[in-house]
Amino acid sequence: MSSGKSIAVLGGGSWATAIVKMLLNNADKVHWWMRNQDAVNHIKEFHHNPNYLSSVAFEEGKIEVSTDLKAIIEAADTIVLVIPSAFIHTTFEPLDKNIFDNKTVFSAVKGIVPELHSIAARYLHKEYKVHYDRIGIICGPCHAEEVALEKLSYLTIACMDEDRANEMANQLACRYIKTSTTEDVFGTEISAVYKNVVAIACGIYHGLGYGDNFQAVLISNAIREIERFVDAVSPVHRDVKSSAYLGDLLVTGYSQFSRNRTFGNMLGKGYSVKFAQLEMSMIAEGYYAAKSILEMNKKVNVDIPIATAVFRVLYEKVSPSLEMKILADELT
């Protein structure tokens, strides 16, 4: 079921690797950019990513992998962006501003571009004049690790252009991936970003010794906080109990795979923010997201106690045990 259009994936991490795997169920070829030349060489020779999901084998001739960002983007009509949000701006800066002209860009980033306090969709629109009809989001709930294991998973594809949403949904769907679509580009991406901040809170509380009863209350409060914030930032009709919002929050908040939760857990156990960051080889997206959400909230000014508490722990050196006790008193 190839669409005839060519597709490129930008990024070399576990989620990028999982997306390449999914796309190859339907696409004849995927163009794949990653920064790391050693990884590119390894993939060319051994047909798997040496650093992430290395059990996933890629059929020879079906991937075109390179460190040449410009060439990879130019080779494709549809671009899937899976670069950690903190690196997007510096990665794209050398490119021509018109490089995405007439291309459709799907973000699977789930993070905020810190330089602009913008979700990737808005960043692409503002910086590269990509029309919102040509910007989409690939949302979970979906751990890359379970895609590698071909465990049944559901993705939601958001795009204001229904045809483009359906096209990407069809490209990703396969035996173990079910897809659905929505027009809610802002809501799904902001919610996906926000859940990483919540996952840090889950981790901190877990590290402090709070139990499962409390985690359930935290998540119940978190989805209401996300709803308040997203409805204020982008007031369209949505049901945050859907998989793309609540499901995505659950899979991250309850997961031991989540780097954000792991990061929070270290803070709860008494490690400093600096030390916890150095210990982790992956980026905890929620670290940047907490700051950007508070920044975005200056405009809409809704009650966001969980994000505020995480921000204070991360940026204002407030003691996690104290801050989280104050937050717990606000939950219902």
Q: How far is CA 229 from CA 13, 187, 288, in A?
A: 29, 9, 17
Provide the β-strand partners of residue 79: 8, 105
Report, in Å, the least distance between residue 175 CB and its own copies: 12
In the three-class reduction of DSSP (H, G, I as helix; E, B as strand; rest coil), residue 8 is classed as strand
**Nearer CB in complex with its own copies: 60/329:** 329
Q: Which of 103, 126, 129, 195 is catalytic?
A: 195
Cα angle 89, 93, 95; round to 5: 130
**CB of 35 or CB of 228, closer to its own copies:** 228
Nearer to its own copies, 77 or 209 (CB): 209
Q: Tell me how far, at minimum, the Cβ of 29 lies from its own copies, in Å.
A: 27
Cβ contact 125:132 at 8 Å: yes
CA distance 200 to 258: 9
CB of 159 vs its own copies, minimal distance in Å: 17
- Return all residues near 304 (Cβ < 8 A) that are at least 6 apart: 225, 228, 229, 293, 294, 297
Residues at the interface with its own copies (CB under 8 A): 140-143, 146-147, 149, 151-154, 178, 180, 209-217, 219-221, 223-224, 227, 239-243, 246-248, 250-251, 254-255, 257, 328-329, 331-332
Show the DSSP H helices in 30-84 as ranges: 37-46, 69-74
Q: Least distance from C-beta 33 to its own copies, angstroms?
A: 26
DSSP, residue by residue, 147-162: HHTT--EEEEEEESSH
For residue 39, what are its two tokens?
A: 């990884």
- State which residue, 316 or 329, has the beta carbon closest to its own copies: 329
The smaller minimum CB distance to its own copies, of residues 86 and 250, is found at: 250
Our answer to whether residue 62 is catalytic in this structure is: no
The residue count for the chain:
332
**Mode of pairing for the β-strands spanning 135-139 and 153-159:** antiparallel
229 within 8 A of 293, measured Cβ to Cβ: yes
Cα distance between residue 150 and residue 144, in whole Å:
10
Q: How far is CA 285 from CA 41, 178, 188, 282, 326, in A?
A: 28, 26, 16, 9, 24
Determine the Cα angle at 251 with ends 125 and 269, to 5°.
Answer: 105
Nearest to 207 by CA among 94, 70, 100, 310: 310
> Minimum distance between the CB of residue 329 and its own copies, rounded to whole angstroms?
8
C-beta closer to its own copies: residue 8 or 142: 142
Q: How far is the CB of 330 from its own copies (least distance, A)?
A: 10
Nearer to its own copies (CB atom), residue 132 or residue 154: 154
Nearest distance from residue 163's CB to its own copies, in Å?
Answer: 20
Catalytic residues: 195
